[in-house]
Structures are given as structure tokens and as C-alpha cells.
Amino acid sequence: MRPEDSALARTSGLRSARQTEGVRSYLDHAATTPMRAEAVAAVTAELTRTGNPSSAHGSGRAARRVVEDARELVAERLGAEPAEVVFTGGGTEADNLAVKGAYWGRRDAARRDVLVSAVEHHAVGDAALWLAQAQGAQVRILPVDGTGRLDLDAYAAALGPQSAVVSVMWGNNEVGTLQPVAEVAAAGHAAGAVLHSDAVQAVGHVVVDFAASGLDLLSLTAHKLGGPVGIGALLARRSTALAAVQHGGGQERDVRSGTLDVVGAAGFAAAVDVAVRTLEAEAVRETALREELFARVRAAVPEAVRHGAASPEDPAAGLPGVLSVGFPGAPGDALVMLLDAAGVDVSTGSACSAGVTAPSHVLTALGVEEADARSVVRFSLGHTTTTADLERVSAVLPDVVARARAAAAYV
């Protein structure tokens, strides 16, 4: 065994009696969050239903009613009209439909620019790059400051008569920074662009009002707010020209063909309902836990560095549950492995493709050096997080960081 392998393998001392019994601290809610009881009940109630919601018979009409009730509830909770809710298979599909569908829907040879922020999720960024490679679009990457907030002056300079589509995410999935969506929408509309925001991380965690935002398109997904995996939605104004990305039976305003997921829609709506109704109190609770967690992290590892716009002085500048922390000299993947062995689930700030770990494009956009970007861990809290989870992190973190640094010394 190599010395570095041995350093990572010696984790038995981190396993508490409670962890051995199967109790874990789940701090990866930004990846997916446990289903809420209301969503589980809604899904369970529909699992045995028979009927395709596109069928004209009684069973089909009953299934359709479930879908339309879900559509109305999602719309009501998010400041949209029911006709503006287009169900999709999740956030990635919603983002692709927004970026590609809006670009194709314009059919304007004079407007070729697709503007996206440097910290977008790959579902937006890669869709824009595909338009450049396959459709002749001109992608303009909008810079952010050191906290991940959009540079509004650079954005204004990039806008013009050639602007077709603008996509700026509502809240960042890695560092939690919130964007000035209303300002972005107003400036983009003045230039004649179609405005989209990936609000996958924001809905159910901060106030999202589609009508008030000024946006034309907004993406969300169920499993980030306590609903089932496999269903999401694109909120799309009826006045926005939107081309279909997939074709077939013409469901969902003829822009998203496919048999509607009755079970998923019911669970999705139930999750949106409870998440939005309890949002104010839950946001206060999660923000307090987030700040307590960072205080505990700094007490355990004083040199730890925080990334993103939120701070004790301005806690509302970021998503309530997202905390991005760098541990200098400790590889993020080693930290994740060692925390996992100690019963704590977290993610790194890196993207892994084909077995090769690369520094996060989000952290790079913030100006974080590559070596530091590789040492970042994302803690993300949610509706099941308690103080006990923070206590477990506090207890194991000093040893975890020391072991990760020891492993790095052999590389």
C-alpha cells in the first residue's frame, strides 16, 4: 500500500458509535434533499392510479385533473399563471429547453449572442456552448466579482442589438451567491433579449415570484426542495417564443412532448407547496445554522476560508443553506472521503469527468487559485439539518483535515 493510501485508509478512529449504528449527518442538500412527508404522501396516493393524462376516457381525465391541480398549485406558489408552467423531466431539461428553445424560437439572424454568467450550472453553460458549436451562436461569458455576483457594468457593456438570450442563475449551487435577477431582467429587456434564470437552487429556499421578477423563463426542479427526482418545470411566459427541443405528441404547449408524469407532478406540487409556505421560518433557521457551522469550522480549523457573498455581516446575500469552505493544503476529494467515513455527507467544489478531477469553474470565475479551489468543500443544509449535525462536523473536522493534509504530503 502506498503511504498516501494508508493515510486515507486510517479512518477507523473517526467512526463514532452513533455512526456505526447507521446515523449520519447529511449535509449535501444542494445535490438533492430528502423528500418531505407531504410529497411522499402525494406520490404514494397516486402510485396505483391508472390512466394516461392525454387520454379522453374517464381514467385519463382523472389523471389529467391531478396534473392540472399540480400545475395550478405550482403556479400559485411561484407567482405564475397555470398556463406558464411547463412540466419537464428536471432542471437540466428545463435549462436546455429555455436556452435552446428561446434561441431557436427567435429565428433572428441579427441576434446571435447568448449571454451567460461565468458561474452557471453546466446545464446552462454547456447548452450555450452547443448552440455556438452547432448553430452559429456567439456565446458571451459574463464575469463575476470575487463573491460570485454578476458584474453589472460588464453585463451592460455586453448587451446590444445582437443579444438574443440572457441566462443568469438566481442562486449559485456551489457558493450560494444570489444574483440581482430583477436588475438583470430589466437591462436585458431594454436590449430586446429573452431573459432566463436557473432557479433550481433558489425555489423553496428564497422568495421567488415569477411575475415580479421580470423574467421570461425560469427553471426549477422537484428534488432540490423536497420532491421526487425526475420532474421539474420551466415557467415560460406565453408571449415568449419557444421552440421545442423534443418532439412527439405535442404535450405541454407543444414544446415538451411526452406522457405527463402524474405521480411526479403530484409530489412536485406538494413539495413546492410546503417549501414555499414554510420558507420564511425555514430560511431564518437554515441561515442561523449555516452561520453557526462556519463559526464551528473556523474554531476547529482557523485558517479555513469562506467563498461566496454571504457573511455574518450580510447573511441574506446567499442561499440560506449553502456554505463553501476552503481548507488550505487539504485536497477536497480526500476531505469528502474522510468525512464520509466519519458519517458526514458533503460535496467538493470540483467537477469530475471521466475520472479526472478539475477545479470548479465557479471558484475559478471567483478568482480562486487552482490549488485553493481543489481544497474546497461544500456543506449544504436543508429541512432535516439539526444542531447535532453541526456538532458531528465540529468533532471530526480537525482530525479529518489533518489526515487529508498528511495524504497530500505524499502526492
- Catalytic residue numbers read 352
Q: Which three cell numbers stand for residue 215?
A: 423574467
Strand locations in 127-236 (E): 138-142, 163-167, 194-198, 217-221, 232-236
CA-CA distance, 186 to 11, in Å (whole number)?
53
| Distance between CA atoms of residues 397 and 394, nearest Å | 6
The residues, ordered by sequence, that sit 6+ positions from 307 with a Cβ below 8 Å of its Cβ are: 147, 148, 175, 324, 325, 326, 349, 363, 366, 368, 376
Scanning the structure block, which residue is given the C-alpha cell 436556452?
A: 99
Sorted by sequence, the CB contacts under 8 Å of residue 96 that are 6+ apart come out as 123, 127, 245
Q: What is the DSSP letter of 170?
A: S
Dihedral angle computed from the Cα positions of residues 86, 90, 94 and 95, in that order, rounded to the nearest 10 degrees: 160
Q: How far is it, in rounded angstroms, from Cα 140 to Cα 123?
A: 16
Q: CA 204, CA 282: separation in Å to the nearest integer?
A: 9
Phi-psi region of 230 (alpha: psi -120 to 50; beta: other; left: phi over 0): left
